[in-house]
């Protein structure tokens, strides 16, 4: 694949999810089938090694095998793809970028160093080195809501002015004031917001989503994006029901029961029942109980039946 420009990064991008064997190893056969499914679904793009791919809990040998598998299949199918090169260690992240650039990804994703909160000088130093090693491949700045430094619109504006290799941002979004403050950033780079705010985010200027909602059903989520372009009122009505489902049946697993976010991603994939997923996470993290799947699936079918039509 040729590296993408900012204006080309839009729509619904789906994440790789790891199926975990009984011995806590990665089931690469299931991962291969998952990539094939995404390609056949014709989503706008695929990305690896975000939070849902448990990037922080892989050996480098596993990281390279996951990245190579994705690259081989996407390059053969002309499917846009991004390789996540994130790590809490900036040195490991840099080494992952060096490896990823050999695989011809459309772009790479990185987080800021995450052991000590990096100040602006450190942020710029980090991205300059990443950009140098990326060798012309665009950088997606991933700033998750639990990062030690939560970037504000003025921070994004400063960083993209100093590091032109940053072509996209993966962010938790914000309120109307946040969108207004992000107008300059929107004009320069691709800005993706969370999957459950797909319609309202696009209406306010976002380019698309690296989508958590797509874990329920990638094809249904792609069709929701198409609805955003053709009938925003209907797309916003669907968003209200997506948010209702998440607020009532998914968010409490995080806020009350203290499961990690990626446990919910795998749980929603199990609810959607499209990829043969199991809820197991890599040690030492614990997945949501399997007996909850059918209970929550029934509620999901009632609230957002569109996600079970395909």
CA of 95: how far to CAs of 75, 101, 123, 130, in Å?
A: 22, 10, 17, 9
Q: What is the CB neighbour count within 10 angstroms for residue 86?
A: 24
User: For position 24, what pLDDT does the model report?
Assistant: 87
**Which among 68, 57, 131 has a CA at the least distance from the CA of 100?**
68
b/e map of 155-182 (b: 16 or more CB within 10 Å)? bbbebbeebebbbbbbbebbeeeebebb
Q: Please report the beta strands in the chain, taking only residues with DSSP state E, as ranges in sequence order.
A: 11-15, 45-48, 81-84, 107-110, 139-143, 166-171, 190-192, 208-210
For the chain, what is the mean pLDDT?
Answer: 95
Q: Kindly report, residue by residue over 213-247, the tens digit of the pLDDT.
A: 999 999 999 999 999 999 999 999 999 999 999 99
Do residues 292 and 259 lie in contact, with contact meaning Cβ atoms separated by under 8 Å?
Answer: no
- Across residues 124-146, what is the average pLDDT? 96
* Residue 1: pLDDT over 90: no
Q: Kindly report, residue by residue over 152-209, the tens digit of the pLDDT.
A: 999 999 999 999 999 999 999 999 999 999 999 999 999 999 999 999 999 999 999 9
What's the CA gap between 24 and 19, in Å, rounded? 9
What's the CA gap between 301 and 166, in Å, rounded? 39
Residue 278's pLDDT band (cuts 50, 70, 90): confident
Determine the CATH number of domain 6-230: 3.20.20.70
Q: Kindly report, residue by residue over 74-102, the tens digit of the pLDDT.
A: 999 999 999 999 999 999 999 999 999 99
User: For position 22, what pLDDT does the model report?
Assistant: 87
What's the CA gap between 206 and 214, in Å, rounded? 17
Portion of the chain with pLDDT greater than 90, in percent? 94
User: For position 223, what pLDDT does the model report?
Assistant: 97
User: For position 2, what pLDDT does the model report?
Assistant: 81
What's the CA gap between 38 and 121, in Å, rounded? 39
- Contacts of residue 288, Cβ cutoff 8 Å, sequence gap at least 6: 253, 259, 263, 264, 266, 267, 279
User: For position 262, what pLDDT does the model report?
Assistant: 92
What is the SS3 assignment for 166? strand
First to last CA, the chain: 29
Do residues 147 and 13 lie in contact, with contact meaning Cβ atoms separated by under 8 Å?
Answer: no
User: For position 309, what pLDDT does the model report?
Assistant: 86
* Residue 310: pLDDT over 80: no
Residue 13's pLDDT band (cuts 50, 70, 90): very high
> pTM of the full predicted structure?
0.95
**Which among 75, 13, 19 has a CA at the least distance from the CA of 218?**
13
DSSP conformational letter for 248? I
Which three-class secondary structure string do you get for 260-290?
A: CHHHHHHHHHHHHCCCCCCCCCCCCCCCCCC
């Amino acid at each position: 694949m040729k590296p993408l420009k900012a204006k080309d990064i839009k729509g619904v991008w789906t994440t790789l999810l790891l199926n975990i064997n009984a011995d806590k190893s990665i089931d690469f056969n299931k991962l291969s089938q998952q990539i094939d499914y995404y390609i056949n679904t014709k989503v706008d793009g695929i990305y690896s090694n975000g939070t849902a791919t448990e990037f922080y809990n892989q050996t480098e040998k596993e990281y390279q095998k996951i990245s190579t598998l994705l690259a081989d299949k996407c390059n053969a199918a002309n499917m846009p793809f991004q390789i996540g090169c994130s790590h809490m260690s900036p040195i490991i992240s840099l080494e992952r970028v060096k490896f990823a650039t050999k695989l011809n990804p459309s772009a790479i994703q990185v987080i800021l160093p995450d052991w000590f909160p990096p100040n602006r000088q450190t942020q710029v130093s980090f991205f300059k080195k990443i950009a140098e090693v990326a060798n012309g491949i665009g950088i997606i700045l991933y700033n998750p809501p639990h990062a030690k430094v939560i970037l504000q619109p003025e921070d994004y504006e400063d960083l993209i002015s100093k590091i032109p290799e940053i072509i996209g941002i993966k962010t938790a979004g914000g309120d109307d004031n946040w969108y207004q403050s992000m107008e300059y950033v929107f004009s320069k780079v691709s800005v993706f917001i969370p999957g459950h705010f797909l319609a309202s985010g696009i209406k306010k200027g976002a380019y698309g989503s690296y989508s958590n909602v797509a874990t329920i059903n990638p094809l249904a989520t792609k069709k929701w994006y198409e609805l955003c372009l053709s009938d925003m009122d209907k797309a916003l009505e669907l968003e209200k029901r997506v948010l209702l489902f998440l607020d009532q049946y998914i968010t409490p697993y995080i806020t009350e029961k203290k499961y990690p976010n990626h446990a919910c991603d795998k749980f929603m994939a199990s609810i959607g029942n499209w990829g043969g997923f199991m809820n197991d996470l890599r040690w030492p993290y614990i997945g949501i109980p399997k007996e909850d799947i059918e209970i929550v699936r029934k509620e999901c079918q009632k609230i957002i039946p569109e996600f079970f039509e395909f």
